[in-house]
Structure 1
Amino acid sequence: MSKVDLGRTVGRVLGRGGLIAIIVAAVFGLIWTLTIAALHHYSINGFASYDVGVASPLDVRPDLVAGADIQYVTINFTPVSPDPTALLLESIGVGSRYAVGMLAGILVIWLAVQLLRKRSFGLGTAGLLGVLALGMFAVAIVAPMLEGQAAVLAVEAAGLPTEPSMPTFGESDETWVIPPTPHWQGFDFSLLALGLVTGLCALLLGRASRLQDDTTGLI
Structure 2
Amino acid sequence: MFTGIVEELGTVARIVRGSSRQRISIGCSKILEDIHIGDSIAVNGVCLTVVEFTGHGFSADVMNETFTRSSLGTLKPGSYVDLERAMAADGRFGGHIVSGHIDGTGVIKSIRPDGNAIWFEIAASREITDGIVEKGSIAIDGISLTIAAVDNLSFKVSIIPHTLKETVLGVKKVGDTVNLETDVIGKYVKKLLASQTTNAGLTKEMLLANGFY
Bigger fraction of residues in helix: 1
Q: TM-score, normalised by structure 2?
A: 0.22
Q: TM-score, normalised by structure 1?
A: 0.22
Bigger fraction of residues in strand: 2
| Structure ranking higher on relative contact order (CA contacts 8 Å, 6+ apart) | 1
User: Who wins on radius of gyration, i.e. which is larger?
Assistant: 1
